[in-house]
Structure 1
Amino acid sequence: MKEQVLKWANILGETGLYRLLCPGSVPVFMLHRVTEGDDGVPGGLTAEQLRSYLHYLSERRYKILSMDELWQSLDEGREIPSRSVLFTIDDGFYDHHDVAAKVFDEFGFPLNFFVITGLLDQQLWPWDDQVAFALKHSQVRRADIDLPSGAIFSVNLEAQSLGKTARELREALKAGPQGELYQWLRDEFFGKLGVEFPSSIPPDYRPMSWADARSLRERGHGVYPHTRSHRILSTLSPTEKREEIRGSLERAGEELGYAPQVFAYPTGRPADYDDQDMEELRQAGFSMAFNTVPAYVRRGLDPYQLPRFSLPENTADFLQIVNRFEAVKEKLRG
C-alpha cells in the first residue's frame, strides 16, 4: 500500500505541483562510494544506478548546480530554477575520481568533492573504515575492547553480525574523545582482534591522488576540504580543531592552487560540530559548510549549517526528494 501511495505521489510530483508549493527548496545530495559492481568497493551506490538518476534529471532538463551558483543564490539573492539539484561526495577515495566523476562527465554535470587531505596524502584512511576492516579480518571472535573514553566494548562475532557490531562500535567511538583515535586503533583495537595493522592503505580504501583532484577542477568539478583526518570536531581540543580546519584548508590550497571556501563536517550530525568550529571556519575564510541533516537548502539558513540528503539507493525515494514531495511532507510536519 505504501509503495503504491509513493508511486502515485511521485507521478503527481512530475507535474511540478510540489515545486510550486515549496519554492526555493534545493536538494543537496551526498554520496560516499560508487561501485562498478565487481570492483571490490565496500558498499556504496552502483554506477548504473547513479547513471539512471542523472539520466532522469537530464531528460527533464534539471539544472545541476555548482557551488558558486548555490552561493550566488544564498548570498546574493539570485533566483535558482525550481528544477535544480546539487551533488556532493565525501572523503576522496579512488572510485570518486575513477567511477563517480566519469558518470557525471557523461552528462556534463558538476560534482563537488569533499576530500580528507590526510587521505590524499596517504597518511591515513578513515577511522570508521579501519573499524570495519579490522572486524572483517579478525582472528578473534570475542574480545573486550578498552575504548578511548574508558568504557568497555564487548565484541562477540559469534552472537552478532559483523555489520551490526561495526555500526555499534562506530557509534560508541563517535560519542567519545577522538584526539588519539588513530593511535588507539593501531595499538589497541587491531591488536585485540589479532589483526596486523596494514603497512599501507588497503586497496579497497585507497585514495585518489592530488593530480586526480586537480584534473577534477579542470573538468569543472568542485574540490573542497573535509578536515585532515575525519575525526569528529566536537570531540577535539581547540588546538586540534584548528589543525583539522586550517590544516586541511592550507593543504588543499597548496595542491589545488586556490583557497577553497566550502567545507563539510565529518559525520555531520548536529552533535558533531559546535559554535567554536563554525567560528573557526568563518575566521579561516570559509563561506559555507555542510552537515548531514536530511533537509532542503533554502535562503535564510545559517550558511555554516547547510543540510544534505544521502543519495538514496531506492529510485522512488530519490524521486520524492527531487520532485519536492519530501518538502511538502516537511511543511505538513512543521
Structure 2
Amino acid sequence: MKSVVLKFVNLVGETGLYRLLCPGRIPVFMLHRVTDGNDNVPGDMTADKLRSYLRYLSSRKYNVLSMEQLWQVLEKGGPIPSKTVMFTIDDGFFDHHDVAAKVFDEFGFPLNFFVITGLLDKHLWPWDDQIAYALNRTELRQVSLQLPSGGEYSIDLSVKNIRQTAREIRNALKKDKQAHIYRWLKEELYHKLKVEFPCNIPPEYQPMSWDDARSLRERGHGVYPHTCSHRILSALVSDEKHQEINEARKRVEQELQYTPEVFAYPTGRRSDYDLADIDELKRAGFKMAFNTVPNYVSQGCSHFELPRFSVPGAVADFIQIVNRFEAMKEKLPNQPMVSRSFLPTR
C-alpha cells in the first residue's frame, strides 16, 4: 500500500504541482562513498544507481548548480528557478574522483567536493571510519572501554551488530573530548579490541590526491575544505577550532591556488558545531557553510547553516525530494518534514 501511495505522490510531482505550491526551495544533496564494483568500498551507493538519478534530472531538464551559482542565487536574492538541484560529496576518498566525478562528467553536471585536508595529505583517515574498521576485524564480542573523558563504555557485539555498534560509539565520542581522539582510537579502542592498527591507510579508505583535486577544478567541479582532521568542532576548544578551520583553508589555497570561501561541518548535525565555529568561519573569510540537517535551501536560510539531504537509496525517495514533496508535507497536518530514511548516516 505504501509503495502505491508513493508512486501516486511522485506521479503528481511530475506535473510540477509541488514545485508550484512550494517555490524558492533548492534540494542540496550529499554523497559520501560511490562504488563501481569494488566490494571493499563502504556504503551502498553504486555508480549505476547514481547514474540513474542524474539521468532522471537530465531527461527532465533540471539545472544542477555549481557552488558559485548557488551563491549568486542566495546573495542576489532573486527568484530560485523551479527545476534546480545541487550535489555535494564529503571527505575526499579516492572513489570521489575515480567514480563519482566521472558519473557527473557524463552528464556535464558539477559536483562540489568537501575534503579533509589531513586525509589528502595522508596524515590520517577519518576517526569514525577507524571505528568501523576495528569492529569489523575484532574477534572479541564484549569489551569495556574508557572514553577520552574517563567515563566507562561497554561494547557487546553479541547483542548488537557492527553497524549499530559503530554508530553508537561514534555518537558517544562526538559528545566527548575530541582533542586527542586519534591517539585514543589507537591506544584504547584498537588495544582493547586486540586489533592491529594499520601502518598505512587501508585501501578502502585511501584518499584522492591533490592532483586529482586540481583535475576536478579544471573540469568544472568545486573543491572546498572540510577541516583538517574531521574532528567535531563543537567538542574542541577555541585554539583547536581555529586550527581546524584556518589550516584546512590554507592547505586548499596552497594546493589549488585559489581562496576557498565555502565550508562543510564534520558530520554536520546542529550539535556538531556552535556559534563560536560560525564566528571563526566568518573571521577566516568564508561566505557559506553546510550542515547535514535534511531540508531545502531557501532565501531565508543562514548562509552558515545551509542544509543538505543525504542521497536516498531508493529512486522514488530521490524523486520525492527533487519534486519538493518533502516541502509540501510542511503544509499537511501532523506530518514530519523529513522521512527518517533521508537522515544522514554519519
TM-score for both structures, normalised by structure 2:
0.95
Aligned counterparts of 2:222 and 2:78: Cα–Cα separation in 1: 20
**Any residues of structure 2 matched to 1:193-272 within 5 Å, and which?**
193-272=193-272
1:184-211 CA deviation, whole Å, 9 max, x = no partner? 0111111111111111100000000000
* Unpaired stretches in structure 1, ≥5 consecutive residues: none
Amino acid at match of 2:150: G
Aligned counterparts of 1:295 and 1:49: Cα–Cα separation in 2: 22
SS of structure 1 residue aligned to 2:282: helix
Identity %: 64
Q: Is the 8 A contact 1:34 1:100 kept in 2?
A: yes
In the alignment, which residue of structure 2 is the partner of 1:278? 278
In the alignment, which residue of structure 2 is the partner of 1:297? 297
SS of structure 2 residue aligned to 1:153: strand
Aligned counterparts of 2:202 and 2:178: Cα–Cα separation in 1: 22
Q: Is the 8 A contact 2:25 2:80 kept in 1?
A: no
Check if 1:187 corresponds to 2:187. Answer: yes
Structure 1 residue 140 displacement after superposition: 2.3
**Any residues of structure 2 matched to 1:65-104 within 5 Å, and which?**
65-104=65-104
In the alignment, which residue of structure 2 is the partner of 1:115? 115
In the alignment, which residue of structure 2 is the partner of 1:154? 154
Aligned counterparts of 1:208 and 1:168: Cα–Cα separation in 2: 28
SS of structure 2 residue aligned to 1:48: helix
Q: Is the 8 A contact 2:73 2:80 kept in 1?
A: yes
Structure 1 residue 38 displacement after superposition: 3.3
In the alignment, which residue of structure 1 is the partner of 2:63? 63
Aligned counterparts of 1:16 and 1:252: Cα–Cα separation in 2: 40
Structure 1 residue 31 displacement after superposition: 0.3
In the alignment, which residue of structure 2 is the partner of 1:137? 137
Structure 1 residue 80 displacement after superposition: 3.2
Check if 1:172 corresponds to 2:172. Answer: yes
SS of structure 1 residue aligned to 2:154: strand
SS of structure 2 residue aligned to 1:55: helix
Structure 1 residue 28 displacement after superposition: 0.1
* Unpaired stretches in structure 2, ≥5 consecutive residues: 338-346
1:68-96 CA deviation, whole Å, 9 max, x = no partner? 11111101124332100000000000000
Aligned counterparts of 2:234 and 2:91: Cα–Cα separation in 1: 19
SS of structure 2 residue aligned to 1:242: helix
**Any residues of structure 2 matched to 1:11-22 within 5 Å, and which?**
11-22=11-22
Q: 1:193 to 1:284 in 2, by over 3 A?
A: same
Structure 1 residue 141 displacement after superposition: 2.2
Aligned counterparts of 1:331 and 1:149: Cα–Cα separation in 2: 44
Structure 1 residue 158 displacement after superposition: 2.4
**Greater mean alpha carbon deviation, residues 270-279 or residues 31-40:** 31-40
Q: 1:69 to 1:78 in 2, by over 3 A?
A: farther
Amino acid at match of 1:125: W
Structure 1 residue 315 displacement after superposition: 0.9
Q: Is the 8 A contact 1:131 1:170 kept in 2?
A: yes
In the alignment, which residue of structure 1 is the partner of 2:341? none
Q: Is the 8 A contact 2:23 2:80 kept in 1?
A: no
SS of structure 2 residue aligned to 1:23: coil
Q: Is the 8 A contact 1:36 1:99 kept in 2?
A: yes
Aligned counterparts of 2:84 and 2:125: Cα–Cα separation in 1: 33
Aligned counterparts of 1:251 and 1:59: Cα–Cα separation in 2: 38
TM-score for both structures, normalised by structure 1:
0.98
SS of structure 1 residue aligned to 2:220: coil
Q: Is the 8 A contact 1:294 1:308 kept in 2?
A: yes
Aligned counterparts of 1:33 and 1:86: Cα–Cα separation in 2: 17
Structure 1 residue 121 displacement after superposition: 0.3
Q: Is the 8 A contact 1:32 1:44 kept in 2?
A: no
Aligned counterparts of 1:246 and 1:301: Cα–Cα separation in 2: 24
Aligned counterparts of 1:301 and 1:234: Cα–Cα separation in 2: 21
Aligned counterparts of 2:135 and 2:121: Cα–Cα separation in 1: 25
Q: Is the 8 A contact 1:24 1:82 kept in 2?
A: yes
